[in-house]
Structure 1
Amino acid sequence: MFKSIIDQDSYISLLENRHAEELFELIDNSRDSIGEWLDFPNHTHEINDTRKFIERTLNSFAANNGYWVGIWHKGKLAGSIGYLYFDWQSKKTEIGYWLSKDFGGLGLVTKACSLFMKYAFEELKLNKVEICMATSNIRSRAVPERLGFKEEGTVRCFEFLNGKYLDRVTYGMIGEEWSGNFKDQKIKGELYGIYFENELTGIIGLIHHALETELKHIAVHPNHRNKGLGSKLIEEIQKLTTPAHIIAETDREAVNFYKKNGFIITSLGEKYPGVERFKCIYNFMKA
Structure 2
Amino acid sequence: MFYRQIDRHLQLRLSVPQFADELFQLTETNRDYLKTWLPWLDSIQKPEDTRRFLDLQLHRFSKGLALHETIFYEGRIAGVLGYNLLDHTNGIGQIGYWMGEEFTGKGIMTRAVKDLILLGFHYWDIQKVEIRCGVANSKSRAIPERLGFTNEGTLRRAEKFYDHYRDLVVYGLLQDETE
Q: TM-score, normalised by structure 2?
A: 0.96
Structure 1 residues 251-270: aligned runs within 5 Å: none
Q: Match for residue 155 of structure 1?
A: 155
5+ residue gaps in structure 2? none
Query: Any idea what SS the aligned residue of 2:6 has?
Result: strand
Comparing both structures, which one devotes a greater share of its residues to strand? Answer: 1
Answer yes or no: is 1:65 the counterpart of 2:79.
Answer: no
Distance 1:2 1:78 in 2: 18
> Which amino acid in structure 2 is aligned with residue 82 of structure 1?
G
CA contact (8 A) 1:81 1:95 kept: yes
* 2:19 equivalent to 1:19: yes
Report 1:269-284 matches (<5 A): none
Whichever structure has more helix as a proportion of its residues is: 2
Partner of 1:117: 117
**CA distances 1:133-177 after superposition (whole Å, capped 9, x unpaired):** 111000000000000000001011223425443211100011110
The one-character-per-residue Cα deviations of 1:46-67 (angstroms, maximum 9, x if unpaired) are 0110010110011111111112
User: What SS class does the counterpart of residue 106 from structure 2 fall into?
Assistant: coil
Higher RCO (Cα < 8 Å, 6 or more apart) = 2
Distance of 1:76 and 1:107 partners within structure 2: 16
Q: Deviation digits for residues 237-263 of structure 1, max 9, x if unmatched?
A: xxxxxxxxxxxxxxxxxxxxxxxxxxx
Which residue number corresponds to residue 43 of structure 1?
Answer: 43
**In structure 2, C-alpha distance between the alignment counterparts of 1:164 and 1:104, rounded to whole Å:** 27
Post-superposition offset of 1:127: 0.4
Q: Deviations over 1:252-279 (max 9, x none)?
A: xxxxxxxxxxxxxxxxxxxxxxxxxxxx
- Over 3 Å counting, the alpha-carbon distance change for 1:55 and 1:161 in structure 2 is same
Larger displacement relative to structure 2 (156-165 or 19-28)? 156-165
**1:75 matched residue in structure 2:** 75
Could you tell me whether the CA contact under 8 Å between 2:114 and 2:147 is conserved in 1? yes
Q: What is the letter of the counterpart of residue 57 of structure 1?
A: Q
Show the 5 A alignment for 1:129-168. 129-168=129-168
Give ranges in structure 1 of 5+ residues lacking alignment.
180-287
C-alpha distance in 1 between matches for 2:160 and 2:89: 31
1:55 matched residue in structure 2: 55
Q: TM-score, normalised by structure 1?
A: 0.60
Shift of 1:110: 0.3
Aligned equivalent of 2:98: 98
Alpha-carbon distance, 1:15 to partner: 1.5
The question of whether the paired residues in 2 share the 8 Å contact of 1:36 and 1:162 is answered with no
Task: Kindly indicate whether the alpha-carbon contact (under 8 Å) linking 2:110 and 2:143 is maintained by their aligned counterparts in 1.
Answer: yes
Could you tell me whether the CA contact under 8 Å between 1:121 and 1:178 is conserved in 2? Answer: no
Q: 1 CA distance for matches of 2:171 and 2:126?
A: 16
Quick check: 2:35–2:41 contact (8 Å CA) kept in 1? yes
Shift of 1:18: 1.3
- Give the whole-Å Cα distance in 2 for the aligned partners of 1:132 and 1:24: 24
